[in-house]
Structure 1
Amino acid sequence: MTEEVVAPGSLIKNLLEDPDIKIQLPSDDINKVHFQYLSTPPAGISVDSSGMIRITEWVDRESICPNKELCRIQVDLAIQPVQYFTLVKVILTIEDINDNKPKFAEARVTHVVSEITRTGTSFVLPEISDPDSPRFSVQKISLQPITEQFELKTSLQPDGSQEVRLILRGALDRESVSQYRLQAIAVDGGDPEESGILEIIIIVADANDNHPVFDQDTYEVTIKENVPIGFVITRVHASDLDKGANGHIVYKFSSETATNLHSMFSINNDTGQIIVTGRVDHEEGAIWYLTVEARDQGEDPIPTETLVIIHVDDVNDNAPEIMIHTLGDSGDNEAVILENTVSGTFVARIVVNDRDSDDNGRYNCSLYEDHFVLDPFGSDFLITTRGILDREKKSKFSLIIKCHDYGKQALTRTTFLQVSIEDINDNCPHFSEESYFSQITENNYPKTVVIQMTATDPDYGDNGSVQYMIHGRESQWFNVDPITGVVRTRVSLDREVQSYHEIIIVARDKGIPSLSITTILTVNVLDTNDESPEFTQNVYIFHVYENELPGTEVGQVEAIDKDSKQYNQHTYHLEVDPFSAFHIDADSGRITIIDMLDREEEKIHVMSAVAVDTHEPHFSSSATVSVYVIDRNDNRPQFIYPSGHNNTVYIGNDLSPGSIIAKVEAEDKDEDHNGRIRYELIDDSDEERYFKLSSHTGVITLIRTLQHIDNGSFLLTLIASDDGDIRLSSSSKLYIIVDKSLSRSLITDNNDMISNVIIIIIVTCVFSVLIIGLILSICIICKRNHGNRKRRYKYDKKTLGTLTGKDDREYACKLFFRKEED
């Protein structure tokens, strides 16, 4: 007996200390016996040759014996050598612990229920499961919070599962409560107890008045297991008193039923006919429980359920199945025994199973061979020797085992057991060399021959028949023909993954016990140029200040070629246009500038760096290089207003202090603080007394009355400076003319005019940018056509732009404008 939480490596029992076994063995020879499997134990449990039962890995009781109160495992063993031969049946009982929580099939379920739904109506909730044994499985399910309208009802289904239903016990009133939020809490029998929660949302809604009603609460039918596909088993029928869509009924299986059907049955949604759609086998399921739902097609339909019970009658359609368990590794239908063993020596255990029931499943077996005996052993049979066998007289026996059942039309199964009589194995195979060496070029085809291994064994028959195998992890790359010893590759080898392989080759004879010898085969993998240089990064990001001198280093890229030194050389180049300002060193990958950069022309330069293998074939790879140009304060603020042709403002003398006179504006092509502009008014005693300039907005306001000035003028000297570390500035002048004849309304109109002028200026600027962009595009085309690197533009009265090249030749790109006459 063991618990499922026993740690791997734990000793469960020493069979040699068991009194029932100990009494059958002589005390002075007890250390000479060993145990051997007749049936393979389940995963996690092992019995070694000395009879020690151990846990080899964590045992999960729920996967071995799901939902069973008692979990027992049977392991069949044989005690050897032959003079002590005894069959041992070991029964292990695995005790359950509460290591699983109850769990609903869904975490949340929503039902839309009509407020006129009759009390007593039930709603099936998602299935609750707990794979622990019944003692630790679900013990109770409660509803929280407790309400007068609803209660839970659980029922044990014929298949052992629990069905949980929500029962409506009180009338619903949508105007009072439109929604209920409940929880179904399932608690198991553990200490401490575990629980699972299902959130239930009930939405109260209007619906049709009647729901479908089945003719029967339960339908029960019996069919034979060999009915053909398409056979109509039965027909369920429900009626609905409503008319139209509210009375039109559609049938379907419940979700739990549909999940468990395995495509064996289907239902006609319109007629309610249940049809066979798969192979019906009594041995797979003698009884099927199908839950059928009927619902109308009205709004908020309320489904009604009925239970269909299908009994599957057995027919004698299964012949007895025969399984042969023998000692050793000779195979299920082969047995090997040594010559001269005593009469009654164990040969094989015959396990018979007939999946049919009653007489159809009862069986008997017989053996047709004079040198062997077939005796009952519980529900199984044992084959033992009759007399002493001599290999020199006969080395092999073919046993015919025939089993039949007791059905009216009996079915029979026959199988064969090959029994080989072998010599004693006393020689190991021998390799012709102590170790082997070979080599192969990488990227080979799978199944390429590497070498042929040869080992000999002077023994006779299987004792001298050598088989080859590869031991260890190298078997994933190589295999060896077990007969010829030819070693081949399984896959294409990659020197960059592993440059050599040390393969353990095992030569083993077929004797019992088998003897073997090992040798080491070293395979060197030769290199080819099959790797592309790979950049260490997919994207490189560098930063450089504008106006740096040619030759300044921007950064360095690096690519690595996994090939050997013979093939891992590569060069670098940039994929850029011929006029690029960047250069990369072909050997080092160092990127430098070959022309000064202007951030105001282009902030980011994106290019591809390419690494190309210098050997054939020329493999290559690329990476993206992004160079961000860092701003320097190399542009002065430029006044937009006032300008040389627009620098005068006319005002009347009746403006009140605080009135806005004008708004100056300047621009700076630099960014951040280098492009942030502050305005100043040069200290002048007269102007300072009357006007104030906002350093941030550029708004000029009147700070004193002008009523004492009939006519006059002011000259304001304006300074626009940036916030760079070394500030740059420019100046402009603004004339303010005071004219008494100008009224306040005219001034207002003047202010409106100023606003309109600003709008016109903005539109003009946008249009100018578009014209300049067009000119630049045309000039770039000209530049590419004539191979010039640098371009300079100047204004020409006859043309919009003139491109001057290095060779002092001029290329003019002219745009002609024609004035259309009215």
Structure 2
Amino acid sequence: MTKRIGYRNWRWLALWWRHFILLWSTIDGQTRYTIPEELKQGSVVGNLAKDLGLGLSEIFDRKLRVASEAGKQYFNVDAGKGELVVNERIDRDTLCRQSASCVLPLQVVIENPLQLHRIEVEIRDINDNSPNFLTKDRVLKMAELTAVGARFPLESAEDPDVGSNSLKSYILSKDECFSVKVKDIEGGRKIPELVLEKPLDREKKAVHELLLTALDGGTPARSGTSQITVTVLDNNDNNPVFQKAVYKVRVNENSEKGTSLIKLEATDSDEGVNGEIEYSFGEHTLESVLSVFDIDAVTGEMFLRGELDYEVAASYRIDITAVDKGSPEMEGHCRVQVEVIDVNDNAPEIVLTSKPSPVREDAPSGTVVALISGRDLDSGNNGKVTLQLTNGHPFSLKPSFSNNYALVTSGVLDRESSSEYNIEITATDAAFPPLTTKKTIPVSVIDVNDNPPKFSQSSYNVYLKENGLPGSMLSSVSASDLDFGDNAKISYSILDFKVQDVSVSSYVYINSDNGSIYSMHSYDYEKLKGFQILVQAKDHGSPSLSSNATVHVFILDQNDNAPAVIYPSAALGSLPHQKMPRSTKAGYLVTKVTAVDADSGHNAWISYRLAEATDTSLFSVNLYTGEVRTKRAVSEQDDSSQRLLIEIQDDGEPVQSSTVTLAILVEDGLHEPILDLRQKVPEPSKKSGRITLYLILSLASVSVLSMVTFIILAVKCVRNSRSSGSCCMRRDDFDGDMMSQSQSFRSCLSPMSEFSDFTFVNLAAVALRNIFC
């Protein structure tokens, strides 16, 4: 029971410290988590959504994702809970080696809008590695005359763990002649040394079996062992001695193969072969060192054998052994520390933290398009990177932190001018001379409906023949739109407009897709000379834009009307009669035929010709005026009744024509005709008895007046007949508004005249009406 309570207290205390570290890291302005290495896949690191102030729904909507700068994707986000979880086994010893601090930087990318957060996950070491000797068995040869207190470097154990879990101490198995001492050297390393505590006596003990144990500081502690066999030899009692225990060398990483690094020298007080020395690398020198360095066994000169790379290894610690040729052999030891100087041999890199997003052409200045970072594998100034944009683009780079930048808009975008920008970014390091890298990032521009459709013409003129077939195409209008997609798709329509108080839609129809305009029915020039159509082109954008164009439709006249005879009028009878005296001379104007044509232009030009006649030698018709005249004087032999058929033609194509038949009576002793004043006498309205009386008196007065007038006219006609044989009077054409030319012609009145005596009654009735009105 006590153990269980202690375990719970230990878990509570560990949890409290973890939350304390997380809280301390967050307050620092940058989210930081601390976890132990070797956690299982799916282990929770922390609630990332909560720490960044995001709701769970935003994880999906804004596409939250984690990008690792370490190359491998050690972490992932649980989209359902918003937690940062372990995605892959983390071995701190492999990842950070002997570094005291092991921090994995992560970039959290959030879209809509684009945001970049930097978080750090510190990997805490656990004691999962035991100290290890590369050589489990080592043989040392010592002369029995070796002085007490002499020290012999031993192989140091390796422990990948760090801090309290790293190598702490060495223990040597019990032996009265030997002990072990630990020597601390630069870099925190501990080198065990075998110390001779008592003089050796080969005769008493020629071989000493020792067990060297290395212990780390973990709880519980881990250990590793190495078997050391000391063989006691006789003679050669002086060891080779180096001038320094540690030699330091600095060399550029771009040094060529064969470059001399240092010449080592050890001295031996012995003479002869006991003083001859050979140099070599330590017994347990790593292959990675042997592939890069070499040493001349005779001269002790150390030189490059392979290529250096500061980014792979910035320093080397190399153990050198000097062995004489005595019997037994005596050894001397030293260490060479090689520091590699960084050279600017790595060009900077441009990394897209997030892919560039398409940007609307109406996006405001400062809109984030992409997140970009620069990095350089070199160190110091050689690894400092600056990103720049080439000029000429409406974009700029906004610095963030640690060589991170945001690509943002800095000017007005116009998709119609440029639908895609290829933005060239240049990365330059701070070395001298600097190295540069260029990368092109394509950014597409999303169209916005900012251009209305534009007609090819502001107005169109259409000339259409009348009497065309309904449904025939009149014309076609065309508009274009500089936008893209639906924003450039155009529909055509006709705006409502009145033509002769009728909607224009009843006259024409337009195809909404291609702008073709069709007639709804046949047009008659005599009723409609032309009309206008207001066509609208509207795109499918949101909101939509439109523009208008005017179509002027002109109806062209066709010769579809025959000439119509106005005079002589058919109202006077089915066969118009004209009278002429037999005494008529050549050129006498018998009558004038007048016709009109409802068409226009050439189609309305009228000509007259005599088609048939009782006597074609007696009459002629003027081609343009329609005047009927005598070609010669009338003789006694000419028939008293003449019949003329006059054809009237227009100038159209095809020709339209009509005819009129005239009956001409040739009479002897024809008097002057009296002006046709035939009118219908309006019936007097029924009035009171007094009005009736007035009417009777008026009629009586008019009758008397008419009789006096008739007597005067009869006397005048008798007088004139003696000289001319007829009674004639001048009459003006009262149809002048309907004829192309006004004229006067003479007509003769004979006893057979069509004017009856009721003419005078009519005159009286007119006079009476004037009196009462």
What TM-score does the superposition give when structure 2 sets the normalisation length? 0.49
Q: Which has a greater percent of helix? A: 2
Larger radius of gyration: 2
Q: Which has the higher contact order (CA 8 A, sep 6+)?
A: 2
